[in-house]
Structures are given as C-alpha cells and as structure tokens.
C-alpha cells in the first residue's frame, strides 16, 4: 500500500479514533449521571403524584362530609331524640351518609348524637350507651380539633393526624388496646357543629376508609421502586403483614432525616437489608404523612452498563468500517431520539416491543396525554364546587377586591364590566302544590340549575344557594340606569317563567341596585332580601327592584297603635273564652287595620310581636309552658322567617290560636272538676249549718252564678237538690240507728221548721220520717 495512502488511512484512523473514543467516554459518564438524576426526579414525581391523589381523595371526603354535617337535616337532628320509628328522618340521614361515597369509596360511616344518645351507620341504628364503642366516641369528643384523622384501626394504638381548616398539621396520639379482628382502616372524625362555642360537641361524624382503598391510590409503577406512606410516628400504617415490617429500619432513617434537616423533600443512599438502596422521600404539610420511594442502586447501575456496552459496540463498528462521517452523522441524528426514548421509558404502554423507537415514543406520548386528560376531567369535577364556594364567600363579604381579581381569573369568571347586579330568587309557598316542605332544598337546587342554563356564562358568576334563596351575580357592559334596570327585569322575568314552566312553582325575585365593585355584592344581596320583604304587602309571584321600595320606615300614628292595642286585648279575651269564631273575626279586623293603614312592611313583625307576646303570656298565666303547648314552630325566629302575609295569617291561626284554645279548654275542664269537688266537700262538712250557694261562693271566691253552672255541669243536679239529698240520707241513717225524735233530727239538719223537714223528706224519700222508721223496724 502506498505510504501516502497508509498515512492518510492512519491519519483518518487517528482522527476517527480520538473523537469517537472521547465522545464515547464522555457520553457514558454523562448518561450514567443523567440516569441517576432522572431516577431521582422520576421518584420525586411519582411521590408528588401519589401525594396529590391521596390528598385529593381525603380533601374531597372532607368537603363532602363538611357539607353533610352543616346541612339543616343533620343540625336539626342533633336536637331530636330519634328512635327506630322515625323512619323518614333516619332514611334522609342514612341517604346523606351513603352520598359520602360519591367521590371516595368508604367502608363505614357513623353519625353519632352525643346529647340524645343515639347513633347510626350504613347498617344499624342504636343507642350509644349500649355500643361497645361508647368510650371511643367519648375520647373523640375530647379531641382539641374539630376535624382529625386516625391512621390506625379503631380501638388500636392511634396515631392521630388532625386536619382542620385552621391547622392542617395539628395532631396528637393516645393509646388503647389494639384491635386486629377487622380489616385495617383509617378514620376521619368531624365534630358537630364544626365551629362551636364550647369544647363539647353535640355529635360526631366518623368515616372509615380501608387501607386497601388508600393503597389503590399509590403508584403501581415498580420500575422506579416501591412507594410507602408513613404517619407522624414514622410507621407504615398501610402495611398488612402479620409480622414486623422488614422495612422498619428504612422508616426510622427517613423519619430521623426529616426531623434533622427540616426539609420537605430529599434523597439519600442507605444499606437496607444488606442491599444498597436509593431512598426518596416527600413530607406532606397537609397531614404530616411522609411518602417514601425506595429503588435498588443495582437496578440503576444496570442502565449505565447497558450504555457502556452500546458505546463499545458503536466504536468497534466505526473502527472496522472506517465510516467516520456516516457513523458520526447517524450518531448525532440518533442521539436526541435515544435521549427522548430513554426519558419516556417509564411511561407504560400496552405494547412496548417495538423496534421503531419513534413508534414507541408516539405511543408513550399518547398515553401521557390520555392520562393528563383523565386527570383534568377529575379536577373539573371539583372545579364547580370551588367556584360556588368562592361566590358564597363573595356574598358573605369574605373576599376583597384584590383577592377577587386574582381568583376570578383563575376560575374563569368575567373580569371586565361596567356594572354588577344581584338577583335573589325565593320560593313563595309550597301550599297547593305537589311538593312538601322537605322538598324545598331540592327545588332550590333545581332553580339554581335552571338559572345556570338560562343566563350565559359570560354574563354571570356561578349561581349559588344561600339560606333560602337562589342568588346570582350578573355582569353588564352598560352604565345606563334604564338599560340596566330593564336587563335585570328581563332576566328575572325569564327565570320566573321557566321555573313555573318546568317546576309548576311560583317564585318571587328581588333585584339589587347596580354597583361597580365585586366586594359590594354582600350589600347587593342584602338589598335583594329587603326587596323580597315587599311580599308582605304586595303578595306573591312578584319581581321587585330595591330602588322601587320605600326604604324608610314610616312613623306609626298614635291612633293606629291604639286601635291595634284595643284589638289585641279583644283577641286575648276571645281566646280566654274559647270563642274561635270571635277570635277569627277580631283577627281579620287586626290584619285589615295593618294593611289598610298602609303600614310599611318592615313594621309588620314589630307590631305582630306584641300580639305574640300577649299570647305567650296568656299560656304562661294559665300554668302552661309555651314550647310544650304550642310546639317547636311557635318561636320568634320561625315567625321572622315568614315571607308573605298569607303565611303569617296561617301561622297565627294554626300555630298560636288553635293550640291556645285547646289548652284553655282543657284547663277549664280541669278547673270545673276541682271547683265541683270543693263544693261537694263543703256540703259534707257543713250540712248541719246554714250552707247555701252564696256561702260557697264566698268561701271559694267565685260568683254564685258561675258556681251554679259549674256544679250543674259536673254533678248533674242543682246545688240545692244535692244538699237536700245529702241531708235526707243523713236523716235516714239517724232514723235507722238512733232514737232521736223527728224534731231533733230536723234541728240537727238546720231545719228551723219541722214541718218543712217532713215535707222535704216525703218529697225525696216518698214517705214521712215516722213511716220510714216504722217500716225499717218491721223489717228488722
């Protein structure tokens, strides 16, 4: 071979060998370091995703549980002594418990009423005093937090990780006897009410989740190692083996490192069970749990060895074929594809045995995008609840304008407007409809959905339910007052028509004045409620602008007040007499006096509370307890919630007047019996004295005519007839058993005239006293 050619080949070989060997060695060391870093980063991502899945599930359960314990159904049941016979109430409470499983599968849930000594779960209803878990429930009630999690089985050594809105990381522990007879689970405990002025709750909501359900949320990708979850004490509470956990040494090392470094994330190498391991950990500030991933260092180095062999074979081929430019070019072109292939190798696909790396990368990205889409759908399911919660805080004055601007953009709310306005929809009445009172919350929910469909999203914020109203914050792009008022009215009219069309229900709508700042929504909502009070005078099925009502209170004329006071006194007197017809007549005059005098609707409750007070006082004067006689609805709070004049009239008649008349009649009957018995006693004691109806009236402090009527009603005969019968019975006894003369007997019975005594005896007995004695002696 020519020397030039040999030199050229040698030079080409040297030029080829130096860059190829250099690139091979550098690539090996860089790739080895990258693999280890990628494994660390991958483990951290797995732990982060696992933490997010677990905490999302727990937070969802907390939110749904909070809605349940704050529902009127649960709060009202805390004051009721329920029994197995209260089927409808128990069914509604049980349905609420089952609804807790909507987003998170749960094993069991308990609703415990500590005050009324009852509890219920998915399958049982019983007394707390007879439950084996009584002491356990009482220990929960003493816990300082309103919400906390128990990471061990009930009646076990408990590690409590408390999570409440104010202090998510708070928690403590206490020890009891371990229970290994049931599947391992964790418990969430809510005190009811959640915000209480006292440390002793009225009830508890206890929800159990099997550890197996938590395990399903952990990462199933074994390529990056196993994932463990530790509680605050550094224990793997998801471990289900019967023996001691073989990884306890690793748990202890992680716990010590977290305590020493005070860092939420970290990575370190350690020898566990005679095996070198790379350990990643992540501390959750939400509940103090630590998420740990452990991967074998040997598995990591296997990837590096594979790269070393690939580089060696590549260099050998280059040296043999002496295809410097082709090999170098293909190497450069293949390098990014290889890196991308290695970067996505942890993404699982159905078929990973493709020779074409581009096809594998495409399938892996499709899987990644599909997973992202599913995650977005799950987040979207919770998004609506977050937006409604944000609007509720806005209507209750808990959101500032600065905070609103940031969050409104985050939640996709309108950010630009000229004016805002509030619409509040309330159900007028459920009377003469196919609905019952317990359907009201469901009907409001349906109205809320109707509003959400009718009003375009760009013209409103999320419609919400607040107390007994459906409330919507509207957005307008005009400053003209007339256009604003017309737009609000048209929207309210459309809502009213559709509610009647779909639900056959009559509603009224209150409209606030326009305003500029979102933080003024709380005032707009108050104006809507004030406008809706006009139903007192205008009736039902109306649309009212706040600016159209007379917000000032008129001074009551003295003559009006005097007339009402006179009617009140007449009404109380009619109640005392038990004359329901007269009560109805006077009450109609009372209502007419209020309506015809054009009294402002805000004065209705003030005036009527005077009549209510007198009715309560009448019950108390007759020795009755107001709540016992009139029931739970006869309260000022309940009265103030009435929205229409028709509801107020019905409340007075059915809740006040009817029970009071029944109570007074019962009291009168009892009083009649007592008075008649006292009169009989007086006859028995004073038959030998000058006793009369007037003498009894003087002794008992009643009018003689009243006593005569009461005695006749209860005994069946007149007082004088009863006195004469009793005296003649005494005369017959003396005639039979003594030798007293007839005149002496007449004198003993306070008869001044013997002839009058004989005449009375003959009238009652049918013979004279002498004949009666002779007849009795012959029979003897």
Residue among 344, 310, 421 nearest 24 (CA): 310
Strands ordered across the beta sheet of 125-126: 125-126, 118-120, 108-113, 203-210, 185-192, 147-150, 158-161, 173-174
Please write the tens of the pLDDT for every residue from 149-200.
888 765 543 333 344 433 433 344 444 445 555 678 889 999 988 765 567 8
- More confident call, 191 vs 669: 191
Helix axes 719-737, 754-765, angle to 10 degrees: 100
Domain that holds residue 501: 382-548
Q: What is the pLDDT of residue 287?
A: 84
Is 210 a domain residue?
yes
Domain co-membership, 327 together with 389: no
CB atoms inside a 10 Å sphere around CB 160: 21
Domain co-membership, 223 together with 85: yes
Least confident segment among 498-502, 524-528, 546-550: 546-550
Domain co-membership, 133 together with 45: yes
Residue among 451, 481, 485, 480 nearest 465 (CA): 451
Least confident segment among 40-49, 291-300, 373-382: 373-382
Query: At which of 548, 567, 597 does a domain end?
Result: 548
How many Å apart are CA 167 and CA 172, to the nearest integer? 13
How many Å apart are CA 337 and CA 343, to the nearest integer? 10
Can you tell me whether residue 264 is helix, strand or coil?
Answer: coil
Q: What is the pLDDT of residue 110?
A: 92
- Mode of pairing for the β-strands spanning 125-126 and 147-150: unpaired
Residue showing tokens 């009238």? 763
- More confident call, 503 vs 642: 503
Give the C-alpha distances (Å, rounded to integers) separating 78 from 81, 113, 237: 8, 6, 34
User: What's the mean pLDDT in 340-360?
Assistant: 62
**Tokens at 195, concatenated:** 């915000």
Backbone angles phi, psi at 271, to 5 degrees: -95, 115
Domain co-membership, 3 together with 75: yes
Residues 608/630, Cβ–Cβ less than 8 Å:
no
Q: What is the pLDDT of residue 602?
A: 58
Can you tell me whether residue 191 is helix, strand or coil?
Answer: strand
Residues 28/308, Cβ–Cβ less than 8 Å:
yes
Backbone angles phi, psi at 599, to 5 degrees: -75, 140
Is 626 a domain residue?
no
User: What's the mean pLDDT in 588-608?
Assistant: 67
Domain co-membership, 324 together with 415: no
Tell me the pLDDT band of 630, cut-offs 50, 70 and 90. Answer: confident
Is 164 a domain residue?
yes
Give, rounded to a whole angstrom, the gap between the first and last alpha carbons of the chain: 176
Domain co-membership, 249 together with 393: no
Q: What is the pLDDT of residue 270?
A: 85
Strands ordered across the beta sheet of 275-283: 226-230, 290-296, 275-283, 265-272
User: For all residues of the chain together, what is the average pLDDT?
Assistant: 78
Domain co-membership, 132 together with 177: yes
Is 641 a domain residue?
no
User: What's the mean pLDDT in 95-112?
Assistant: 85
- Mode of pairing for the β-strands spanning 185-192 and 203-210: antiparallel
Domain co-membership, 314 together with 442: no
Is 695 a domain residue?
no
Helices (H), 411-520: 440-454, 481-503
User: What's the mean pLDDT in 680-687?
Assistant: 84
Residue 6 has pLDDT above 60, yes or no: no
Tell me the pLDDT band of 653, cut-offs 50, 70 and 90. Answer: confident
CB atoms inside a 10 Å sphere around CB 78: 17
Domain co-membership, 277 together with 398: no
How many Å apart are CA 731 and CA 759, to the nearest integer? 13
Is 136 a domain residue?
yes
Q: What is the pLDDT of residue 694?
A: 87
Q: What is the pLDDT of residue 606?
A: 65
Please write the tens of the pLDDT for every residue from 353-388.
555 555 666 777 777 777 767 666 665 556 677 788
Is 560 a domain residue?
no
How many Å apart are CA 417 and CA 516, to the nearest integer? 8
Contacts of 139 (CB under 8 A, 6+ apart): 174
Query: At which of 548, 567, 582 does a domain end?
Result: 548
How many Å apart are CA 668 and CA 62, to the nearest integer? 56
- More confident call, 623 vs 659: 659
Domain co-membership, 335 together with 412: no
Query: At which of 513, 548, 583 does a domain end?
Result: 548
Q: What is the pLDDT of residue 5?
A: 38
pLDDT > 70: percent of the chain:
77
How many Å apart are CA 683 and CA 726, to the nearest integer? 8
Q: What is the pLDDT of residue 175?
A: 40
Domain co-membership, 340 together with 395: no
Provide the whole-model pTM: 0.39
Instruction: Indicate the number of domains in the chain.
Output: 2
Is 642 a domain residue?
no
We report the CATH number of the domain holding residue 517 as 3.30.70.270
Residue 654 has pLDDT above 90, yes or no: no
Q: What is the pLDDT of residue 104?
A: 72
Helix axes 580-596, 558-577, angle to 10 degrees: 170
Domain co-membership, 284 together with 402: no
Can the peptide bond before residue 302 be classed as cis, meaning omega within 30 degrees of 0? no
How many Å apart are CA 693 and CA 682, to the nearest integer? 10
Q: Residue 275 belongs to what H/E stretch? A: strand 275-283
Q: What is the pLDDT of residue 176?
A: 45
Residue showing tokens 């707390």? 128
Strand pairing partners for 120? 111, 125
Least confident segment among 319-328, 626-635, 688-697: 319-328
Q: What is the pLDDT of residue 245?
A: 81
Residue showing tokens 């030199």? 7
Q: What is the pLDDT of residue 565?
A: 75
Contacts of 215 (CB under 8 A, 6+ apart): 238
Q: How many residues does the chain have?
A: 780
Q: What is the pLDDT of residue 623?
A: 65
Give the C-alpha distances (Å, rounded to integers) separating 99 from 95, 102, 203, 205, 483: 6, 6, 19, 13, 45
Can you tell me whether residue 17 is helix, strand or coil?
Answer: helix
User: What's the mean pLDDT in 235-257?
Assistant: 83
User: What's the mean pLDDT in 563-567?
Assistant: 74
Strands ordered across the beta sheet of 543-545: 464-466, 469-476, 419-427, 507-511, 543-545
């Amino acid at each position: 071979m020519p020397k030039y050619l040999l030199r050229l080949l040698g030079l080409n070989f040297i030029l080829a060998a130096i860059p190829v060997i250099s690139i091979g060695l550098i690539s090996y060391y860089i790739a080895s370091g990258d693999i280890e870093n990628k494994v660390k980063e991958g483990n951290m991502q797995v732990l982060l995703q696992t933490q997010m899945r677990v905490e999302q599930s727990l937070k969802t359960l907390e939110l749904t549980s909070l809605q349940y314990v704050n529902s009127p159904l649960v709060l009202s049941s805390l004051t009721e002594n329920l029994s197995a016979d209260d089927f409808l109430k128990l069914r509604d409470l049980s349905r609420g418990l089952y609804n807790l499983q909507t987003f998170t599968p749960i094993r069991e849930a308990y609703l415990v009423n500590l005050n009324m000594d009852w509890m219920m779960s998915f399958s049982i209803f019983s007394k707390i005093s007879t439950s084996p878990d009584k002491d356990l429930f009482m220990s929960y009630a003493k816990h300082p937090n309103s919400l906390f999690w128990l990471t061990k089985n009930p009646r076990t050594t408990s590690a409590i990780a408390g999570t409440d809105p104010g202090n998510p990381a708070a928690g403590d522990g206490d020890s009891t006897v371990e229970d290994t007879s049931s599947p391992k689970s964790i418990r969430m405990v809510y005190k009811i009410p959640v915000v209480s002025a006292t440390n002793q709750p009225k009830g508890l909501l206890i929800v159990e989740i099997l550890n197996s359900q938590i395990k399903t949320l952990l990462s199933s990708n074994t390529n990056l190692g196993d994932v463990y979850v530790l509680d605050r004490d550094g224990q793997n509470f998801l471990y289900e083996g019967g023996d001691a956990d073989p990884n306890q040494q690793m748990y202890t090392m992680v716990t010590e490192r977290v305590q020493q470094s005070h860092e939420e994330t970290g990575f370190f190498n350690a020898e566990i069970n005679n095996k070198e391991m790379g350990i990643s950990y992540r501390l959750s500030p939400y509940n103090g749990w630590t998420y740990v991933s452990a991967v074998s260092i040997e598995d990591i180095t296997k990837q590096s060895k594979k790269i070393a062999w690939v580089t060696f074979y590549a260099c050998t081929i280059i040296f043999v074929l002496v295809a410097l430019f082709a090999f170098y070019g293909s190497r450069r072109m293949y390098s990014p594809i290889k890196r991308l292939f290695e970067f996505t190798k942890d993404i699982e696909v159905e078929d990973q045995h493709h020779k074409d790396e581009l096809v594998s990368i495409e399938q892996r990205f499709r899987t990644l995008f599909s997973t992202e889409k599913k995650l977005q759908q799950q987040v979207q399911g919770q998004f609506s609840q977050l937006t409604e919660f944000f609007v509720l805080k806005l209507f209750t004055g808990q959101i500032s304008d600065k905070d609103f601007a940031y969050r409104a953009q985050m939640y996709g709310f309108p950010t630009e407007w000229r004016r805002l306005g509030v619409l509040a929809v309330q159900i007028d009445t459920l009377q003469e409809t196919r609905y019952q009172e317990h359907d009201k919350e469901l009907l409001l929910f349906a109205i809320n959905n109707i509003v959400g469909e009718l009003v375009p999203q760009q013209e409103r914020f999320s419609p919400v339910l607040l107390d007994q109203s459906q409330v919507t914050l509207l957005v307008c792009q005009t400053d003209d007052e007339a256009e604003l008022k017309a737009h609000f009215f048209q929207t309210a009219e459309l809502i009213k028509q559709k509610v009647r069309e779909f639900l056959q229900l009559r509603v009224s709508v209150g409209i606030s004045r326009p305003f500029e700042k979102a933080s003024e929504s709380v005032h707009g909502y108050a104006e809507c409620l004030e406008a809706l009070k006009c139903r007192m005078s205008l009736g039902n099925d109306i649309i009212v602008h706040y600016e159209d009502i007379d917000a000032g209170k008129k001074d009551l004329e003295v003559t009006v007040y005097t007339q009402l006071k006179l009617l009140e006194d007449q009404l109380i007197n009619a109640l005392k007499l038990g004359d329901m017809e007269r009560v109805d007549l006077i009450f109609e005059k009372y209502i007419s006096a209020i309506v015809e005098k054009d009294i402002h609707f805000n004065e209705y409750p003030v005036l009527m509370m005077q009549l209510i007070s007198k009715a309560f006082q009448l019950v108390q004067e007759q020795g009755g307890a107001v709540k016992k006689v009139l029931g739970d609805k006869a309260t000022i709070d309940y009265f103030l919630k009435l929205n229409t004049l028709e509801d107020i009239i019905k409340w007075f008649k059915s809740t006040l007047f009817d029970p009071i008349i029944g109570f007074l009649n019962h009291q009168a009957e009892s009083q009649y019996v007592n008075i008649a018995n006292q009169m009989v006693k007086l006859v028995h004691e004073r038959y030998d004295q000058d006793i009369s109806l007037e003498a009894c009236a003087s002794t008992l402090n009643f009018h003689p005519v009243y006593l005569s009527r009461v005695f006749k009603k209860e005994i069946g005969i007149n007082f004088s007839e009863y006195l004469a019968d009793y005296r003649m019975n005494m005369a017959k006894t003396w005639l039979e058993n003594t030798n007293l003369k007839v005149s002496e007997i007449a004198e003993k019975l306070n008869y001044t005239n013997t002839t009058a005594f004989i005449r009375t005896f003959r009238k009652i007995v049918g013979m004279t006293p002498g004949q009666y004695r002779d007849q009795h002696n012959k029979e003897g």
